Structure 1
Amino acid sequence: MARFEMLEAGFGAMGATAQADILFELGMMYATGRDCETDVVAAHKWFNIAAIKGSLRAAELRSELSAAMSKVEIARALREAREWMTMH
């Protein structure tokens, strides 16, 4: 499975726009199944984090994706996003 390595030194020092762009691309990867299995929970998680970092497009796609997700899936995605934000 392809993924971006975000544990590299310097990720935290990147500009907010660059971070949001990378996180948005992770959301797109999981939403479309590009180089991985489609995973709406993971897509929502990354769109949510990208939106927090300032991506308006990620916020729009997160909202669209939410309409097709169950409450359980949304809750799991939000929990995973919180956990990621706490760790990074």
Structure 2
Amino acid sequence: MGQSQAFTQDREPELNFFEMGINYSCGRQVTADLIEAHKWFNIAAMRGDLEAARRRQEIASEMSAFEIAAAQRRAREWLSVH
């Protein structure tokens, strides 16, 4: 089972997505990764989480255009199979 699956079991999906973003942005329980953080905040924001949208914007200011594009691509890929 991958890290993403382990974190998302047995919780409300929208909260899980936001928590995943927090985990990756802060390096809590996982290695810090702004691309993954942006991906999870993006997914949560798409589901109506306004705080996730704010956090996504905040970390995007620390990312290159290439990194943001990679995060958006990962979010689309994740959504296409879930």
- Could you list the runs of 5+ residues in structure 1 that have no partner in the other structure? none
Work out the CA distance in 2 between the residues paired with 1:3 and 1:53.
21
Work out the CA distance in 2 between the residues paired with 1:84 and 1:69.
20
Work out the CA distance in 2 between the residues paired with 1:79 and 1:4.
17
Which has a greater percent of helix?
A: 2
Work out the CA distance in 1 between the residues paired with 2:32 and 2:45.
20
Which residue in the other structure is 2:5 paired with?
A: 5
- Could you list the runs of 5+ residues in structure 2 that have no partner in the other structure? none
**Aligned CA-pair RMSD:** 2.2
TM-score between both structures, scaled by the size of structure 1: 0.81
Q: Is the 8 A contact 1:51 1:59 kept in 2?
A: yes
Percent identical residues: 43
How far residue 3 of structure 1 moved from its aligned partner, in angstroms, is 3.2
TM-score between both structures, scaled by the size of structure 2: 0.87
How far residue 4 of structure 1 moved from its aligned partner, in angstroms, is 4.5
Work out the CA distance in 2 between the residues paired with 1:86 and 1:3.
19
Give runs of ≥4 in structure 1 deviating > 6 Å. none
Q: Which has the larger radius of gyration?
A: 1
Provide Cα deviations, 1:30-75, integer angstroms capped at 9, x if missing partner: 0000011100000000000000111110000000111110000000
